[in-house]
Amino acid sequence: MDFLYNVFAVLHFVGWAIVLGGYIASIKGSGLYRGVFHGAATALVAGVLMVGTAEMSGMWDDGGPSMAKIGVKLVIALVIAVLAFLAKRQGAKGDNGTGPVSPGLKHTIGALTLVNIVVAVFW
């Protein structure tokens, strides 16, 4: 189970790295790297599976992370995934999938991802 948990943890970090990296690489242009939605979806599912494997194997029996923190991260991550899906749909209209995306949408994805990293580390 520990091995499985670690596999999901790697996917969790790589997924969020794709979201933040894709956002930063697209900050200046008008579009958003189209892998951002896939990164968010992968990281979200991996996070939920981390919680599942940890609970099932008793890894957190003597005190795991705060469930309030996991709940907050889950809500923010769901918002990020929906926004990234909308951005992917907007971008699909031009330039081989990287057409213009509303700046508000794009920067909210980047900002919420940063917020969740701070929540994950400091809470």
Secondary structure of 58-101 as H, E, C letters: CCCCCCCCCHHHHHHHHHHHHHHHHHHHHHHHHHCCCHHHCCCC
By CB under 6 A, residue 113 contacts ligand HEM: yes
Kindly tell me which of 36 and 101 has the beta carbon lying closer to ligand HEM.
Answer: 36
Among 11, 18, 80, 101, indicate the residue that binds ligand HEM (CB under 6 A): 80
Among 77, 83, 84, 101, indicate the residue that binds ligand HEM (CB under 6 A): 77
By CB under 6 A, residue 68 contacts ligand HEM: no
Closest residue by Cα to residue 113 from 81, 67, 91, 88: 81
By CB under 6 A, residue 74 contacts ligand HEM: yes
